[in-house]
Amino acid sequence: MKIALLLTGNELMTGDTVDSNSSMIAQELASKGFDVAHKVTVGDDIDLIIAELEKLTAMYSAVIVNGGLGPTIDDLTAEAMAKLSGTQLVENSDALIHVNTWCAARNIQANKANLKQALLPSCATIIANPVGSAVGIQLEHNNCLLLCTPGVPSELAAMLDGEVLSSLQSHFPDATARLVRRLKLFGIGESACQQALEDECPNWPEEVVVGFRAGAPLLELKLEIEDAKHLALRDQCEQQLMDCIGEFIVGENDDSMASRVVALLQQQKRQLTLAESCTGGQVASLITGIAGSSEVFEAGIVSYSNAIKAKVLGVDTSLLEQHGAVSKQVVEAMAKGALNVSGADCVIAVSGVAGPSGGTEKRPVGTVWIAWGGHDGLHSHRFNYPVGRAFFQTMVSALGLDLLRRYLTGSTQVPGYFQRERR
């Protein structure tokens, strides 16, 4: 079923904010059978908002409005809905309870701005916001269902998955969900995937639609079917993918690289430690972002200076002098030192040149040595990703985690990351 989106907010018009909400909405709802066919974005201009809503409600049976529910004067959605529906803004008792409860939980007195969020069109009902202070608004106009959602992404996400979806489903029970399986890949690009499919899966059935979403560091590959009767076919296709590019598949659906590594460590009852130089704590941060990681994570040392590499990790200063900090010898000594200090049984150590300065002819910006493994042996490898500081740190963190993931699943070979050729 086709639906429309209306996004509001001056920050979307000025380009200050890149709109990722509409992508979130489209993806979340498409899997349930609601396709966004039309998207309009306007600033905080009430006449324009109302005019666009008149048009969209005449064209579609459901419109999702995003933004403009906050407490400030430029948050106009409630007022626009009242004008559109020819009703008054009144204090909505459910919304008032929500705002007061929200403020009380934070030990603050609801002020005028907070209380504005409880003023809703008299014909509207609320959509619960499990995260923030602004409730959503639901009403009908022109025989069209209007669902108004907050612009803050975390609040939108919570609301979408909850009452927005259930409201759409109860109003439009005939919308048929597509069945989507999402695989998360690291170390292979979209074109190499596409080539592998063409070369190695020549009889791919048209019932299983392949889609990609490029991301960093993970690439998402979607397998979509319209009917549950094709589930076995989709499973066959997935098996074909496993056979040809399975080593790059990190996980599925909500898996991240870190969640996959934490899960493997938990299964194997192993403890991880980290010695990070150029990634500066990002690997530790990714690991500890996973709930339950304290079971498997002991300690990480961010050893930015050579002095700390020697003092805390016990790296021999002669190695540092002889080979430099970005070397096989030093990164392996960092890994051993972290294992010794922490008592953990596996490790990732990273030392590289993130840039923009600090490069040399021998070790230009983008050079990185990674060591990984455990008491049964350490492995190390030199990589080169001259891609700018932030992206370098993102990619190298993922690289370290992926090498550990492969080690925990029994492979210590370094794959041809992003270098897969046609077979």
Query: If binding is defined by CB under 8 A, does position 48 make contact with its own copies?
Result: yes
Contact between residue 385 and residue 396 where contact means Cβ atoms under 8 Å apart: yes
Query: If binding is defined by CB under 8 A, does position 324 make contact with its own copies?
Result: no
What letter represents residue 208's amino acid? V
Residue closer to its own copies, measured from CB, 85 or 393:
393
**Cα–Cα dist 350/369, whole Å:** 6
Query: If binding is defined by CB under 8 A, does position 88 make contact with its own copies?
Result: no
Residue closer to its own copies, measured from CB, 175 or 299:
299
Per-position b or e across 277-289, b if 16+ CB within 10 A of its CB:
bbbbbbbbebbee
Stretch that binds its own copies, among 89-97, 248-256, 279-287, 404-412 (CB under 8 A): 279-287
Query: Which member of 303, 327, 351, 367 binds its own copies (CB under 8 A)?
Result: 303
Query: If binding is defined by CB under 8 A, does position 242 make contact with its own copies?
Result: no
Query: If binding is defined by CB under 8 A, does position 266 make contact with its own copies?
Result: no
* C-beta neighbour count of 16 within 10 angstroms: 9
What letter represents residue 381's amino acid? H
Strands 179-185 and 209-213: unpaired
Query: If binding is defined by CB under 8 A, does position 162 make contact with its own copies?
Result: no
Query: If binding is defined by CB under 8 A, does position 305 make contact with its own copies?
Result: yes
For its own copies, the binding residues in 342-401 under the rule CB under 8 A are 342-343, 354-358, 388-391, 393
Q: How far is the CB of 223 from its own copies (least distance, A)?
A: 14
For its own copies, the binding residues in 90-119 under the rule CB under 8 A are 106-109, 111-114
For its own copies, the binding residues in 172-211 under the rule CB under 8 A are 190-192, 194-195, 211
Query: Which member of 175, 285, 323, 414 binds its own copies (CB under 8 A)?
Result: 285
Query: What's the token pair of residue 248?
Result: 């790059």
Contact between residue 142 and residue 57 where contact means Cβ atoms under 8 Å apart: yes
For its own copies, the binding residues in 135-154 under the rule CB under 8 A are 151-152, 154
> How many residues form the binding site for its own copies (CB under 8 A)?
106
Q: How far is the CB of 87 from its own copies (least distance, A)?
A: 25
Residue closer to its own copies, measured from CB, 8 or 240:
8
The secondary structure of 368-388, three-state, reads EEEEEEECCEEEEEEEECCCC
- Concatenate the DSSP letters of all residues of 52-94 into one string: HHHHHHHH-SEEEEES--SSSTT--HHHHHHHHHT--EEE-HH
Stretch that binds its own copies, among 4-12, 315-323, 328-336, 371-379 (CB under 8 A): 4-12
Contact between residue 123 and residue 117 where contact means Cβ atoms under 8 Å apart: no
Query: If binding is defined by CB under 8 A, does position 58 make contact with its own copies?
Result: no
Query: Which member of 50, 341, 383, 414 binds its own copies (CB under 8 A)?
Result: 341
| Range 231-235 contact pairs with CB under 8 angstroms and sequence separation of 24 or more | 231/179, 233/205, 233/207, 233/208, 234/179, 234/181, 234/208
